[in-house]
Amino acid sequence: MNLIVDVGNTLVKIAVFQDDKLIEKQSVVISGFEALQKKIFEKYPNIKKSILSSVGNLPNEVIEILKMHCKVLVLDASLKLPFKNCYATPHTLGVDRIALVAASVHNNSHQNVLIVDAGSCITYDFITNENDYLGGAISPGIRLRYKSLHLLTANLPLLETEMPASIVGDTTAAAIHSGVVIGIIKEIDGVIDDYREKYSDLTVILTGGDAIFLSKRLKNSIFANSNFLLEGLNFILEYNTH
């Protein structure tokens, strides 16, 4: 039984896997992680190993508590990976993107795959049918675009995410929704179209916190999987401990 710990900028996701099967998933703010991990180990005393992926800041003392319960593998680019990393600066590749590519190898091996992770940022990661990771792109996500319009201008309000009724915004709020949401939809569809011009057999995976919201609105055929990163982390843990 494996414990997966994915530390973001504000939230920690915890998942429990029995072999390849996800049996529990929870999210908590970073300050609540210590209490949650205690409950998890009480509920699943058979957890033997864990993988920690962190793009945020988890206090060292909390990590040490985790190590008291099981073996802990900390994800970084130096680990043995199930794909060839062709990134020109491999040690700058984010651990979240490493996990997503690993999930692609596990679930879609020997396919040309574009992974679109729609979270705080939107990342695009491409892996070939020979399991060569080539790289991709990074752009601002939905909430980041709303916040930047508010913080970096004098008068624009901070709005909640909303699908606009029309591409033509007839109020300031409607214009912001059009620019942010429709802009992102057009961006993602455009990127997919560009990849499909080169790779006609392309498989597209959409994941991340905004995946469900966006999946209903994209014109391209995609596979939406909100647990893709967690599956990749579990695969990397198994790949490095067998």
Share of residues in the chain with pLDDT > 90 (%): 81
Catalytic pick among 20, 96, 193, 210: 96
Q: Is 19 among the annotated ligand-binding positions?
A: no
pLDDT digits (tens, 9 = 90+) for 41-53: 999 999 999 999 9
Are 7 and 96 contacting, i.e. CB atoms less than 8 angstroms apart?
no
How far is it between the farthest Cα atoms of the chain? Answer: 59
11 is in an annotated binding site: yes
168 annotated ligand binder: no
Q: How far apart are CA 162 and CA 62, in angstroms?
A: 37
pLDDT in tens, 100-143: 999 999 999 899 999 999 998 999 999 999 999 999 999 999 99
The top-level CATH class assigned to 84-233 is: alpha beta
- Residues 6 or more apart in contact with residue 118 via CB below 8 angstroms: 141, 142, 184, 188, 206, 207, 208, 209, 210, 211, 214
Question: What does the alpha-carbon distance between residue 8 and residue 216 come to, in Å, rounded to a whole number?
Answer: 25
Number of C-alpha atoms within 13 angstroms, CB side, residue 209?
Answer: 14
Band (pLDDT 50/70/90 cuts) for residue 56 is low
pLDDT digits (tens, 9 = 90+) for 216-233: 899 988 999 999 999 999
Q: Is 96 among the catalytic positions?
A: yes
Positions of CATH 3.30.420.40 in the chain = 2-74, 84-233
CATH 3.30.565.40 assigned to domain 2-74? The reply is no
